[in-house]
Amino acid sequence: MVVEITMGVSLAALGAGIAMGLSAIGSGIGVGIAGAAGAGVIAEDPDKFGPALVLQALPQTQGIYGFLGAILIMIGTGILGDVVAVPVEVGIVLLGAGISVGLAGITAIGQGITAASAIGAAAKTPETFGKGMVLSVMSETFAVFGLLVAILLLVGTGLI
């Protein structure tokens, strides 16, 4: 299958790239920060690997949202799946959808910082693991909103 590359499709592809790229930056930095904290804790107490791993995984979700947003854009425009005509105006809407998911993915940096603190807190007082998890998940809300807006834009334009 060969997709006809129109201006609309190009803009949508740009949106998909931004969705995945910015989310990946956010998740990469977030997971890196939490991972450094995890390494610090297991250097002292290797038994704390489990809680550290769970908290380190939290900032990865923004990357998954970015990936999901990008896939939806690609399916909607026919880059993957059935070919559809994508006018420039729709392409701009899809670019907006990609930007929404991508920028929301940067919240993973904040989540990584919170997760790093929660890893430290759980290392000091193991009972705080659950509470630290709740605090870390808070940043996730805005990443979910970003993905939701992108899905609504795709639904609104009738692409999915």
Between 132 and 158, whose beta carbon lies closer to other proteins?
132
Long-range interactions of 36-41: CB distance < 8 A, separation 24+: 36/116, 37/115, 37/116, 37/117, 37/119, 37/120, 38/119, 40/120, 41/119, 41/120, 41/122, 41/123
Give yes or no for residue 60 binding other proteins (CB under 8 A): no
Give yes or no for residue 83 binding other proteins (CB under 8 A): no
Give yes or no for residue 4 binding other proteins (CB under 8 A): no
Q: How far apart are CA 158 and CA 76, in angstroms?
A: 9
Taking Cα atoms as reference points, which of 28, 19, 25, 12 lies closest to residue 102?
19
Taking Cα atoms as reference points, which of 69, 84, 97, 75 lies closest to residue 11?
97
Give yes or no for residue 13 binding other proteins (CB under 8 A): no
With contacts defined by CB under 8 A, name the span among 64-72, 116-124, 132-140, 144-152 that binds other proteins: 116-124
Measured from the CB of residue 33, what is the shortest distance to other proteins in angstroms?
6
39, 57, 85, 138: which one contacts other proteins (CB under 8 A)? Answer: 39
DSSP structure class, residue 82 = S
Between 79 and 123, whose beta carbon lies closer to other proteins?
123
Q: Which residues sit at the interface with other proteins, rule CB under 8 A?
A: 7, 11, 14, 18, 22, 25, 29, 32-33, 36-41, 43-45, 48, 95, 99, 102-103, 106, 109, 113, 116-117, 119-121, 123-126
